[in-house]
Structure 1
Amino acid sequence: MAFTCATGNSTEKSGEKNRATGRHRRPGRFERTTARAAGVAALTATGVIGTLAAPALAAEPAAEQTGLIPVITFDNSIADQIDAQAIAQERAAKEAAAVEQAAKEAARLKAAEQAKQEREAKERAAREAERKRLMSYVAPIAGSYISTGYKSGGAVWSSGSHTGVDFHAASGTSVHAVGAGTVVEAGWGGSYGNNIVIKMNDGTYTQYGHLSSIGVSVGQTVTPGQQIGLSGATGNVTGPHLHFEARTTSEYGSDIDPVSYLRSHGVNV
């Protein structure tokens, strides 16, 4: 028969042992096993068990069984190994990142150096091309021909002979500087009519006479093929053409063969 105690909220049945309650009660076997198993589960999740802990586990005595989860215990050496492994992994990750960053920086520097070399090569090529252009010579009138040769005789010339050559050209035809130089005369030249004299970069002089108009001024630098004026029939002439003369100085009487002069500079006339 069961009896009921009238005091308190607990009921005690006949045939059962009283169990002490309170703060000093030891945890039961199931509670201890569960706590230990939770630690094992945490280690298992990190991959430690089966690597570092395997030898230690093999040396442990048979685990206490609860019927739910096996109980495993570890000593401090396992924890030290785990810490060492974590530190090594972190160091390896930092070293790999440093190597990758160094490789990227090396690639950037290499690309920058290559771009610099290519830019400098282009600049050198451009300077060389400009140097060659400034050293080149052209005919004073494109596509024309010589109608009166050098040293031709006749009463038309005050000196008794032609001091230059005449290029066939209708009035208003573009006249070009045969090479690079500086204009030393630009204006009326007596029997030469409107004329231009250029001191060439090689120290010689060239003259362009009988122009209908002048497009440069004294002191101006000119480049090969630059238009300097238009052909015409000013001065002592019988019709429009270009009188071209090569000289050793800027003065009349220092003339040299203009055909040989142009050919020596690569101009086919």
Structure 2
Amino acid sequence: MAFTRPTGKHRRPRRTPLTGTHIAGMATLAASGVVATVASPAFAAPDDSPRFEDTGLNQAIVVDDHLADEIGVQAANQERAAEVAAAKQQAEAQARKEAAEAKRKAEAAAKKERAAKERAAREAERKRLNTYVAPIAGSYVSTQYHASSGLWSSGSHTGVDFHAASGTTVHAVGSGTVVEAGWGGAYGNNVVIKMNDGTYTQYGHMSSLSVTVGQTVTPGQQIGLSGSTGNSTGPHLHFEARTTAEYGSDIDPVAYLRGHGVAI
């Protein structure tokens, strides 16, 4: 049997509870073997105008409502799942952002620390290069500056002598460039260094040399070994401080060293 949908605006029929009449009719139909889900003229209301709710469409409508409820539940579950997924993505994105920021801060801190260490190292090196040391470690002055004797052509000592056994390491007292390295007549094997501050230092009577002309030296660097070459009466180191590289421009070497922080 075909059903023609009435025209006009329709609303879904409400679920109608079964009345006593409905139950009695359904029992009669069941006893006679008639399927309850099929509409039958014998099951019509007394006024021969059956209501839509009382027809065999009730079961289909109830089933449709059940499916609609299931679809609604599924949609709600999907919506909640989407919300959970979105929250998870947002949390992961926030975690990545925080991790990136933490990494950036750590790298910036490490860079700052490296820069500070580099500055400290440069400052330490600058101080080291500007530091002066004694030419013979742990020694003392055995002959004073301007001491008088016929041993010297000028009649007085133009430097100081540091006590040193033969073969003792001789150090450059500061940073500079070697301008003379070799035989120096009465000075024997000698080295002359132009210091970075523009003054000159001389080291004489050495048994051997460790530097050459043009070489740069730093404070405490070995430049040779002490000895007794040239005009010498025994092993020692003759040390001079000068304003130029030439003989005769000598200045007090003890005052010079003390002026650069060396305890003599």
TM-score (norm 1): 0.72
- Equivalent position SS for 2:240: strand
Residues 168-226 of structure 1 show CA distances to partners (whole Å, capped at 9, x for unaligned) of: 11111110000010000000001001000000011000000001001100000001001
Residue type of the alignment partner of 1:175: V
Partner of 1:261: 256
In the alignment, structure 2 segments of 5+ residues that lack a partner are 1-30, 40-58
For these two proteins, the number of residue pairs brought into alignment is 214
What one-letter code is carried by the residue in structure 1 that aligns with 2:260? Answer: H
State the distance in 2 between where 1:134 and 1:250 align: 21
Q: Quote the offset at 1:87 in angstroms.
A: 3.1
Q: Give the superposition deviation at 1:80.
A: 5.3
Alignment of 1:88-237 (within 5 A): 88-237=83-232
Q: Within 5 Å, which residues of 2 pair with 1:48-59?
A: none
| Deviation (angstroms), 1:89 | 2.6
Query: Given the alignment of the two structures, is residue 85 of structure 1 paired with residue 72 of structure 2, yes or no?
Result: no
What amino acid is aligned across from residue 165 of structure 2 in structure 1?
A
Distance in 1 of aligned mates of 2:80 and 2:142:
99
How many Å separate the matches in 1 of 2:124 and 2:174? 15
Q: Please name the residue that 2:7 is paired with.
A: none
- How far the C-alpha of 1:247 sits from its partner, in A, is 0.2
C-alpha distance in 2, partners of 1:73/1:220?
Answer: 97
Deviations 1:234-269 (A, max 9, x none): 111111110000000000000000000000000011
Quick check: 1:243 aligned with 2:238?
yes
2:45 is matched with which residue? none
- Give SS of 1:74's match: helix
Task: Determine the C-alpha separation between the residues in 1 that align with 2:181 and 2:163.
Answer: 22
Distance in 1, Cα, partners of 2:136 & 2:70: 104
CA distance 1:243–1:75, change in 2 (3 Å): closer
1:142-193 alpha-carbon deviations (Å, 9 max, x no partner): 1111111001112111011110000111111110000010000000001001
| TM superposition shift of 1:82 | 4.5
For residue 197 of structure 2, give the secondary structure of its aligned residue in structure 1: coil
Following TM superposition, by how much is the alpha carbon of 1:230 offset from its aligned partner in structure 2, in angstroms? 0.5
SS in 1 for 2:207: strand
Quote the sequence identity (%).
64
